[in-house]
A and B are shown apart, each in its own frame.
Chain A
Amino acid sequence: MKTYGSEPGAPTPVQVGISELAVSEGDDTLKSYGLGSCLAIALYDPDSGIGGLAHAMLPDGDAAENSDRKPGKYADTAIRALLRRMVEDGASYIAVEAKLAGGSDMFEFESFGEGVGQRNIAAARAELEKLGVPLVAEDVGGEHGRTVEFTPGTGTLVVKTANKGVENGVLEL
Chain B
Amino acid sequence: MKLDVNALGTFYRMAREGAGLAAGRLTHMTDVETQVGVTKLNFMRGREIRRDFEDSTEKVGVRVKLTGAIEGYSMIVFDRENAFRIIEALLAESNTDDVDVDNEFDEMTRSAATEVGHIMNSGFVDGWADVLEAVIDVSTPEFVEGRSADRFFGDIEEAPDDDDLALLFQSRIETVGTEIGFSHYLFPKRKSMASLLDRLRTSGGIEYDKLDGFDRMAERGAEEIAETATTLTGIDTSVEIRRLNFVSLETIPEQLPDETLVGVAFEFDGLPSGYLLFLFDEESAHEIVDAMVPMEVDEDGFGEMGTSAITELGNIMASGFLDGWANVLDTTIDHSPPEFIHDIGAAAVDPVIIQLGENQEFTFVFDTVVMADGKEFDCEVYAIPDENDLERALNDLEVDRIEDTPTTAEFQELDNT
Interface on A for B, CB 8 Å cutoff?
A: 1-7, 10, 12, 17-19, 33-38, 57-58, 66, 73, 104-112, 116-117, 144-147, 162
User: A-facing mask of B228-241, CB < 8 A → 1, else 0?
Assistant: 00000000000000
Chain B residue at minimum C-beta to C-beta distance from A161: B344
The CA-CA distance from A60 to B337 in the complex, in Å, is 30
Interface 9-mer from B95-103, B285-293, B347-355: B347-355
- Contact call A38/B267, Cβ cutoff below 8 A: no
Q: What's the tally of chain B residues with a CB closer than 8 Å to chain A?
A: 43
The CA-CA distance from A21 to B384 in the complex, in Å, is 26
Q: Please pick, from B336, B344, B357, the residue contacting A34 in the complex, using a CB distance under 8 A.
A: B344
Chain B residue at minimum C-beta to C-beta distance from A105: B351
Q: Please pick, from A1, A105, A146, the residue contacting B36 in the complex, using a CB distance under 8 A.
A: A1
Interface 9-mer from B20-28, B307-315, B373-381: B20-28
**Contacts of A35 on B, CB cut-off 8 Å?**
346-347, 350
Known contacts A3-B33, A17-B250, A18-B353, A144 near B343 by CB under 8 Å: yes
Interface 9-mer from B107-115, B181-189, B207-215, B253-261: B253-261
**Contacts of A109 on B, CB cut-off 8 Å?**
267, 275, 336, 339, 355
- Contact call B27/A5, Cβ cutoff below 8 A: yes
Given contacts A3-B35, A18-B353, A57-B357, 11 further A-B contacts (CB under 8 A): A2-B35, A17-B253, A34-B344, A36-B351, A36-B354, A58-B354, A109-B275, A109-B336, A145-B347, A145-B348, A147-B258
**Contacts of A36 on B, CB cut-off 8 Å?**
343, 346-351, 354
- Contact call B350/A112, Cβ cutoff below 8 A: no
Chain B residue at minimum C-beta to C-beta distance from A143: B343
The CA-CA distance from A104 to B346 in the complex, in Å, is 13
- Contact call B250/A19, Cβ cutoff below 8 A: yes
**Chain A CB within 8 A of B265 CB:** yes
The CA-CA distance from A17 to B351 in the complex, in Å, is 15
User: A-facing mask of B378-403, CB < 8 A → 1, else 0?
Assistant: 00000000000000000000000000
**Contacts of B355 on A, CB cut-off 8 Å?**
109, 111-112, 116
- Contact call A5/B34, Cβ cutoff below 8 A: yes
Known contacts A34-B344, A38-B354, A58-B357, A108 near B339 by CB under 8 Å: yes
In this complex, the member of B336, B343, B346, B347 whose beta carbon has the largest number of chain A beta carbons within 10 angstroms is B347
The CA-CA distance from A97 to B169 in the complex, in Å, is 43
The smallest C-beta distance from A17 to any residue of chain B, in angstroms, reads 6
- Contact call A2/B20, Cβ cutoff below 8 A: yes
**Chain A CB within 8 A of B371 CB:** no
Within 8 A of A (CB), among B318-354: 336, 339, 341-354
Chain B residue at minimum C-beta to C-beta distance from A146: B347
The CA-CA distance from A162 to B347 in the complex, in Å, is 10
**Contacts of B345 on A, CB cut-off 8 Å?**
34
**Chain A CB within 8 A of B295 CB:** no
**Contacts of B273 on A, CB cut-off 8 Å?**
111
The CA-CA distance from A112 to B24 in the complex, in Å, is 40
The smallest C-beta distance from B54 to any residue of chain A, in angstroms, reads 31
The CA-CA distance from A112 to B350 in the complex, in Å, is 12
Within 8 A of A (CB), among B11-40: 20, 23-24, 26-28, 31-36
**Contacts of A5 on B, CB cut-off 8 Å?**
24, 27-28, 31-34
